[in-house]
Amino acid sequence: MPTEQSQGESTPTVVIAFCANFAIAVAKSIAAAMTGSASLAAEAAHSWADTGNQVLLLIADKRSRRPPDRERPWGYGREAYVWSMLAALGLFVAGGVVSFYHGITELQAESVDTDYTVGYIVLAVAFCFEGMSFGQAFRRTRREAHTLDRDLLDHALATSDPTLRAVLAEDAAALVGIVFATAGIALHQWTGEAVYDAVGSMMIGVLLCLVALILIDRNRRFLIGQIAETGFHDAVLARLQELPGVARVTALRLEFLGPRQLLLVAAVDLVGDDPEPSVALRLKALADDLESDGRIVEAVLTLATPDEPSIAIAVAASS
C-alpha cells in the first residue's frame, strides 16, 4: 500500500521556513520603517506571523509524535492539528487582518517622496529566500503526491501532515504577497498616488485571510475525524480479505488519529467454528498483522453477525 513519507521529515522543512522567515521579517521591518510603505509594512507583519507560526508547527510536530500512554492510549497525533490550527489563526489575525486594516488606514495618506530602492532590494532578497523555502516544501509534496498517485494540489489539501501543508501554503502566499507589495510600491512611485501602496497592503491581507481559512478548515476536518481516502480504504479492505482465516469483511472504518496515524475498526467473519478463546486469539493475531503497517497504529476487530452483508471494494463496485 502506498503511504506518505515519515512524519519526521516535516522538521527540516519547518526549520528552513523559520530561518528564512525570521531573517526576512527583520529586513522587511527595517525597510518599512525607512520607506513608510504600507505594502512593506504588511509584508513585515506577514513574515512575523509566519515566523511565529513555524514555532507552533515545530511544537505540533514534536508533541504529535509522543508515544501512547495511559491517558492517551491512541497517542497524541491530533495535537498536530490543534497547534497547526493555532498557527493558522495567527496567520489570519496577525497577518491577514492587520495587513488589511493597515491598508485601509493608509488609503487617505498623503503621498510622500521616498527612495524605495531599499524596499525593492529587500523584496528581491525576500523572494529568493521564500523561493528556496517554497522549493523545499514543493519538492517534498510533489514526491509524496507521485508516490500516492495524486495531483500535487490534491495531495497538499488531502495530506494528513498539517506542517507540510502549512509551510507550502504560507510560502506560496509569501511569494504572491511579495509580488503584490512590489506592484503597489511601483505604482505608487510611478503615479505619485499612495492609494496603490495601500491597496497592495489590503490585497496581501485578503490573500493571507483566504490561505488561513483554508488551513483552519483542513485542520478542523482532521480534528473532528477525517476518514482515509477511498484508494487507501480499498487497499486495506483487500488486505483484510486476503488475511488467512478471514472469510469476509462486513464493516471497515479508517480514521486519522494524527499525521500518518490511522485507527482501523472492522467487523470480519472468520473461517471455521472455533471456541471463543481461540477466536479471540485469532482476532488479536489479525490485528497485530494489520498494525505492522506503519500507518495503522491501532486495529480493532470484531466478529460479524451472519446477517451482515459483505462490503466490496469501491472501485470494483463502481466499475
DSSP class of 258 = E
* Angle, helices 10-35/117-147, rounded to nearest 10 degrees: 160
pLDDT at 46: 85
Percentage of the residues of the chain whose pLDDT score is greater than 90 = 28
139-172 residue pLDDT tens:
999 998 888 888 999 999 999 999 889 989 988 9
Number of C-beta neighbours around residue 7 at 10 A: 21
Residues 165 and 242 in one domain: no
Instruction: Record the pTM.
Output: 0.83
Task: Point out which residues pair with 26 in neighbouring strands.
Answer: none
Q: Are residues 60 and 157 in the same domain?
A: yes
Q: H or E element: which one contains 220?
A: helix 195-225
Confidence of residue 60 (pLDDT cuts 50, 70, 90): confident
Q: Which of 182, 14, 185, 2 is nearest to 87 (CA)?
A: 14
Domain boundary among 225, 250, 267: 225
36: confidence class by pLDDT, cuts 50, 70, 90: confident
120 in the same domain as 144: yes
The percent of residues above 70 in pLDDT, for the chain, comes to: 93
What is the per-residue pLDDT for 252?
94
Same domain, 66 and 160: yes
Whole-number pLDDT of residue 113 = 60
Alpha-carbon distances of 158 from 155, 170, 208, 269, 307, rounded to whole Å: 5, 16, 20, 32, 35
| Span 173-218, pLDDT tens digits | 999 999 999 999 999 888 888 888 889 999 999 999 999 999 999 9
- 2 assigned to some structural domain: no
CATH number at residue 295: 3.30.70.1350
pLDDT > 80? residue 12: no
- Tabulate helix, strand, coil % of the chain (nearest 5): 70, 10, 20
Containing structural domain, residue 138: 7-225
Confidence of residue 317 (pLDDT cuts 50, 70, 90): very low
Question: Roughly how many angstroms between the first and final C-alpha of the chain, as a whole number?
Answer: 21
Instruction: Give the mean model confidence (pLDDT) for residues 294-317.
Output: 80
Mean pLDDT value across residues 278-303 = 88
**Judgement on whether residues 238 and 252 belong to the same structural domain of the protein:** yes
Please identify, among 205, 225, 245, the residue that sits at the C-terminal boundary of a domain. Answer: 225
Give CA separation, 223 vs 227, 248, 261, in Å: 11, 31, 13
> Do residue 263 and residue 209 come from a single domain?
no
- Asked if 314 and 234 count as a contact pair (C-beta separation under 8 A), the reply is yes
CA dist 92 and 216 (Å) reads 9
Residues 258, 191: one domain? Answer: no
Helices (H) and strands (E) in the chain, counts: 11, 3
Model pLDDT, residue 316: 46
> The C-alpha cell of 109 is what?
495618506
Residue 319 has a pLDDT of 36
Domains contained in the chain, number? 2
| Domain end point (choices 225, 240, 261) | 225
Q: pLDDT grade, residue 318 (50/70/90)?
A: very low
- Give the CATH number, domain containing residue 40: 1.20.1510.10
170 and 217 together in one domain: yes
Q: Based on the domain organization, do 104 and 178 belong to the same domain?
A: yes
